[in-house]
A and B are shown apart, each in its own frame.
Chain A
Amino acid sequence: MNSIGEDCNELKKQYDACFNGWFSERFLKGHTDESACAPIFRVYQDCVKRAMREQNIELREIDTEYTTNSEYENTGSSSGKKQSKS
């Protein structure tokens, strides 16, 4: 899958590969240390954030909405618990 910034595609590919390995082999097996992919993530982030600025994608709009998450989270997890019991 492509990145929103054309010149970020290669970095995204590298990060995704790193993340997928870490996710399956480390995180799902109980290791929560996320430093393995941190260096490539930083470089990739610099690229994506630049592409977002160039395309006038409002980071502010994204960030202000983050506050609504707790509300969603409660809804989601409470029904999730109910589902698993049934």
Chain B
Amino acid sequence: MVLTASTCRTEAVFDYSWKNVVAAYWNRYPNPSSSHVLTEDTIKREVRDGKLYSRRLLSKTNPVPKWGSRFYNNVPVKIVEDSVLDPVAKTFTTFTRNLGMKKIMKVDEIVTYTEQNDGRTLAVRRAYISSQVFGFSRAIRAFGIERFKSNSNKASNGFDYVLRRMFPKSQSSVLHSASPAAGATGTFAAQQIDLSAATAAVAVPNHNSRIKSVTRIGYDYIKCHANKIAQLFSVRN
């Protein structure tokens, strides 16, 4: 039973050519904002019809909330990233998703990097977040969305650091759009269903009160039903 997914779209402009951005992309870890990324491997790569297809496997830390650590181990979350790079059209698209723990939360993320007319690079980042956990799917998705927003800033700042180091310039280069902006693949902290996420969601101004209360109720519900969650986790792990 999959309930409707939440989506989120953010944009960022990098003050670098598309070629610089894609060259830096393969070198973006480690950076000062990516301490949560543990490993990075290329597990498939080929050129087909002049396009470069890559599949990479990332593992990231998954801080377990205090109440959860009793029920399951702190296993790093595995992320699969597929990408297609077209050097002629100058488009680079990445598709990222978590492996395992999908019943708790499934995060599919798509980022497209394209060259703007002014020679800078536009990154459009979209995330589709869904949860199969009955009863509080919406609350879990709210956690995910808030995480996505707060992490996307961090992600593009980290990527920007790598760009500056590889292609030195004087000024900082990321221009965020109105919403908290995005850049690189970012963190998949979505699995971190913890109290700080709940607090963050509640504290955000302009957030409608319905989400607020659902988030709070959702958190309490999760807390009370940690056993059920532990069972769900054990299916996958």
Contact = CB atoms under 8 A, between A and B. Distances in A.
A1 B37 contact: yes
A20 B42 CA distance: 12
Contacts of B19: 28
A1 B40 contact: yes
A41 B45 contact: yes
B63 interface: no
A1 B23 contact: no
B124 A83 contact: yes
Nearest to A82: B114
A30 B88 CA distance: 8
B38 A2 contact: yes
Chain B interface size band reads: 35 or more
Secondary structure dominating the interface of B: strand
Interface in B93-118: 93, 95, 97, 99-100, 108, 110, 112, 114-117
B116 A84 contact: yes
Interface in A6-54: 8, 12, 15-16, 19-20, 23-24, 27-28, 30, 32-34, 41, 44-45, 48-49, 52
Nearest to A45: B43
B26 A19 contact: yes
A8 B91 CA distance: 31
Given A32-B50, A73-B84, A79-B124, A12 B41 contact: yes
B48 to A, nearest CB: 9
A52 B23 CA distance: 27
Contacts of B100: 58, 61
Contacts, number: 107
Contacts of A4: 39, 41, 57, 59
A45 B46 CA distance: 13
Interface string A54-82: 00011001100110010011011101100
Contacts of B91: 76-77, 80, 84
Given A1-B37, A28-B23, A48-B43, A62 B99 contact: yes
B77 to A, nearest CB: 11
A22 to B, nearest CB: 10
B124 A49 contact: no
A52 to B, nearest CB: 7
B177 to A, nearest CB: 12
- Which 9 A-B pairs have CB atoms at the shortest separation, nearest pair first? A76-B93, A1-B40, A4-B39, A80-B91, A1-B29, A80-B112, A72-B95, A34-B47, A32-B47
Interface of A: 1-4, 8, 12, 15-16, 19-20, 23-24, 27-28, 30, 32-34, 41, 44-45, 48-49, 52, 57-58, 61-62, 65-66, 69, 72-73, 75-77, 79-80, 83-84
